[in-house]
Every structure is written in C-alpha cells, then in structure tokens.
Amino acid sequence: MCGIVAYTGIRPALPILISGLKRLEYRGYDSAGIAVETKDRIVIRKSKGKVKELSGLLGEDETDLAESNCGIAHTRWATHGPPTTENAHPHAGGKNGIALVHNGIIENHRALRDKLTAAGYLFLSETDTEVLAHLVDSLYQGDLLDAVIAALKEVEGTFGIACMVHAEPGTLIVARRGSPIVLGVGENGTIVASDASAIIKHTRQAIYLDDNDVAQIKGSELDIRSLDAGSVSRQPAEIDWSADAAEKGGYEHYMLKEIFEQPESIRNTLRGRLDSNRGNALLSGLNLNPRELAELHRVLIVGCGTSMNAGLVGEYAIEDFAGVLAEVEQAAEFRYRNPIVNSSDLVVAISQSGETADTLAAVREATDKGALVSGLVNTVGSTIARETGRGVYLHAGPEISVASTKAFTSQVSVLLMMALKFARSRRMSRDAGCQFVKEIKAIPGLVERVLEQNDAIAKVAERYLDQTSAFFIGRGYMYPVALEGALKLKEISYIHAEGYHAAELKHGPIALLEKDVPVIALCNDGPGKDKTLGNVAECQARDSRVLGIVTEGDSEAIATVDDHITVPACPLHTAVVPSTVALQLLSYHIARLKGCSIDQPRNLAKSVTVE
C-alpha cells in the first residue's frame, strides 16, 4: 500500500527522492518522510500529510542534505497507528544510526517489541516498522546485509524494505516478501521503488525482486541474495511505457486523463490479438492449445474490487459464448474457504498491479491444488505475472489515479477475447467468431462516442450533487456495470452508493427509496430492458429520481427515465464498456463539483499489498 523510493549513486539524492514520492503518492498519502546520508549522520525528516508538507520542511540552506548522494523515502498508508508525524517513516533503529522504510505488515511485531523493550530499546511510535528497525539494529555488528538477513529470518508477515546505516556510506539494503520492490538500474546509480512509475524518468531497465530476495546496492553495483538459497541472478526487463505516460498531460486530474485515454488503451490491449480471418483471439500468453482449451471443465475468476466486477462480465461472456462453467470468487475468500479446485479448472487471477495481496494468495492456493493458473495484469514483471507463468498483459499503460478506469475496460476487453478463444475451441462457428471479433474491435470507437458527451454528462452531474445516497441497478451484463458505477461514485465523491441487480430491489433495498435517493438505472436496449424499465417505474413511484443509461434512439427508455445519458447501439456484452465509461464521467464530475480529492480519495490507496 505504501510507497518506497531510495537512491544511491553519484547524483544528488534529494530531488530523486521527492520526485519519486510524488509519483508514488497514489499508493498512500497519510504521511511522508525521507532519510539522507550526510558526512556526520543520517538526517531524517518526516511529517503528517502529503508529500508537499514534507517538501516544506526541507530548507534550501541545508547544504549537507542537498549534496547527499544516498537516501531513502516513504509515503504512507496507515496500518499500525494513526497518521501522525511520529508514525511516519523512516524509522530509526537504536544507537547505530540505522534508518528504515517499510511496506507491509509484521505479524509478530508485538512479540518482537516485547523482546526489544526488555533489551532496553525505546519505542517512539505505534508502528510495526519501528520494531523492524530496532531488530536490525540489535543484530548489527558492522555488516548491514548480515543484520537485515538475520532480522528477516525472525519476521513473520509481509515486507518491502529499504534501509541504510551511517557506518556504511553509499550502501542500501532492500528486500521483499509480498510487497513489491523494483530496482532501476543506471550507469550512475540505482533507484529503488515500489513500482516503476518512480524510476521511469531515470531509466527503463528494471529488476523486479522475487519474494525473499535481499539486495545490497552500492551505486550501480548489485549483490542479490535469497534468504533461502544464497546468491541469485535477476535479469533486468525493459519498461515499455514512457515517463510522459505518468504525467497529467494538461488534464485537471489523472482520473480524467485516464478516462480519456481509454480508446487508445483498449486499442493497445486488443492490438495483434484478434484474427479477423479465422474469427479467433490470439492469446499466446495463456499457453493453452485448442485441445487443452476444449478440455477445460471450469473457469474460476478471482479478484478484488474493480477487478472482481470485471470478472463478473467475464463469467457471463464465457458461459454465454463458450458454454463453459464460469464462476467469480472474491479473492480474499478463495484461500480461506478451502475451495474445490482440480486440474481441469483454469483459475484466472485479475489484478491491475499484479501485486494485490489477496489475489496473490488465491494464486498460490490454486497452484497448490493443481489447477491451471493464469494472470490478467497490467504490470510487467509483477509477482502474479511471474508466479503464474501464463496469462495476458493489459498493456493499458500506467494508471495513477486511485480509482481504476482504463484498467477495468482493458480487463473486460481481455475477458471478451478469452470468451471468444474458449468458444472457438468448442461449438462457435468461424462466421460467429468473425462477428464477435468485429464487435470487440468496435469497442474503442464506442468509447470515443461517449467521451464526446463529456460536457453534457457534466451538466447531468449538477443535478445529483447534494444527494447522500444513490442506488445503481442493472440486469445481466449491466449488473457488473451497476456494481462498478456505485464503486466509482463512493470512492471519489464520498456519496454512499450501492449496486444491485435490478430484480433485487423488491427484496429489501426498495425500503430505502425516497425523494433524495436517486437511482441510476442501466436501461440499455436488449434482453431484460423491459423488466428494468418496470423497476424504474417502481423507483419513481417512491419519489426517487431516475437517471438512465440508455441506447441511442431508444425513445421508450428516454421517455421513461427522468434524466438520461446515451450510449451507442451495440450488443450488451460490448455495451458494458461504453456504459461504464459514461458512469466514470458521471462520478468524476460529481466529485469535481463537490471539490473532492479525486486522484487521492481519503482512506484509499492504489495497490492493496496487505491483507
């Protein structure tokens, strides 16, 4: 959840650290801090609040800080202890001048704290990270690498760490278990970060550490070891997007930029993966031949939040077109409920970051049970991508706003291609496959037509600013859209919102409908529309204002609802994408008009790397 950045080399460290923190702030922004090496000591500065608060503490006259060539930094999403300056990272360990930053959770921190307190260590914070800093200090005997390795062997839980000690100038020790660490390798030094967005400005060569890797870094020199197996070799990979992709590009917010990037991001997802002549999808990363596809008994899709909502679309499409049993599991429940999984099942793990802790745990459980496991991720070199060894990259580009937009639409696009591929290995004809390919290829153009309505959607948003609750309803393929629409609204506007299958209204939720509780109804033309319009009438009878997402030219639906946003005519399985984009814009404009912090909503972080 938190963001780590560190640097050692010949360049001034401070600008690299602050720039890196700003790029990682979407991972957590409760507090921030830095530690830099000077001639006399390690200087730590930290503060509650966002990175700009920390920047204000760094005086221009502090020459020793400005000249430092080695340092670590952190932006926090609070777990143990509230967001205070005392709980901000870095934390200092004992009397040896050690400084440490950490992402993850040390599960046995209480027992370690008791042991260290008995040994005379004084704790200044409520965090589990300070326990780790003192533990490393207690084991330090002149070699920081040895001390960190010894400490991590006593630790239970997850971690991504970077630490330094004054007695070993220019040296960083970093390690990971469950929380990502990437090394940006350059000629003049090495940048360490929680993800590539903090290093792409400086280098495209990245080494992704595996779980239980520990690396000693001195400038450009790397010594990578495993806690279990001694020295190991990790090969660099090239980051396939530019630094400009992580900038706002003139937009007011990252979220708006990413909404408008979706025609291109979806094209990138589809590029080279659709065969119009054979009516099939080319997903070589799945590493499954047609016979293996035909022998699949079931597809299990696991994910959290937005990824799980995308998975529901995949469930419907795989069953509709391929005739394969498909189920969606909340990733956090998958491991703990001892699911029935066997070798004829394919488990598809969906995670934008490829590091989501619950989804990664589900991957490992499915692997242990002998299932085929594939990843659907956006981040090359991520843990889920490496551990599954098969899957599909989204190629959606970096997503900086905490609220996911283009990752969802790219996930849906891939799941539609998977449904096509599975279907063509069974009973779908070539002609039907060619039609499906045509429908998928049309998705970017459908999105562009929705984006052309941005100003009109902003006007609609003005009518829904003062509500404190809202319902989203839909049927079939539109049910996941209702869930995703409600999630976006609550994430960024802080309006309580719930997504329901439209048929569920009469089974309880309708009791909450009244004048100030609007309903956003997915009324797209297709099977089930008449039933949804009946539900709209029921809502209006309870004085709820209804905003309909309707198909262009559908005069019946337009006349039924109170307000409407149109989407182009298309099959329901592809209408998912433009309908979702319409709701993204609606949520964005409501949040903008309310003055909310859109890219960094309260209490949230982009990548959930702790359970």
Active site residues: 2, 606
* Cα 392 to Cα 59: distance, rounded to the nearest angstrom: 47
How many alpha carbons lie under 13 Å from residue 52 in its C-beta half-sphere?
0
* Cα 176 to Cα 580: distance, rounded to the nearest angstrom: 36
* Cα 364 to Cα 302: distance, rounded to the nearest angstrom: 12
Q: How far apart are the first and last CA of the chain?
A: 10
* Cα 345 to Cα 368: distance, rounded to the nearest angstrom: 13
Q: How far is CA 279 from CA 246, 323, 441, in A?
A: 35, 17, 12
* Cα 330 to Cα 334: distance, rounded to the nearest angstrom: 6
For residue 325, give the H/E element and its range. strand 325-330
* Cα 137 to Cα 257: distance, rounded to the nearest angstrom: 45
Report whether 192 contacts 161 (CB < 8 A). no
Written as six digits, the tokens of 560 are 């039924």
Report whether 397 contacts 406 (CB < 8 A). yes
253 CB neighbour count, 10 Å cutoff: 20
382 CB neighbour count, 10 Å cutoff: 26
Alpha-helix runs per DSSP H in 156-261: 254-260
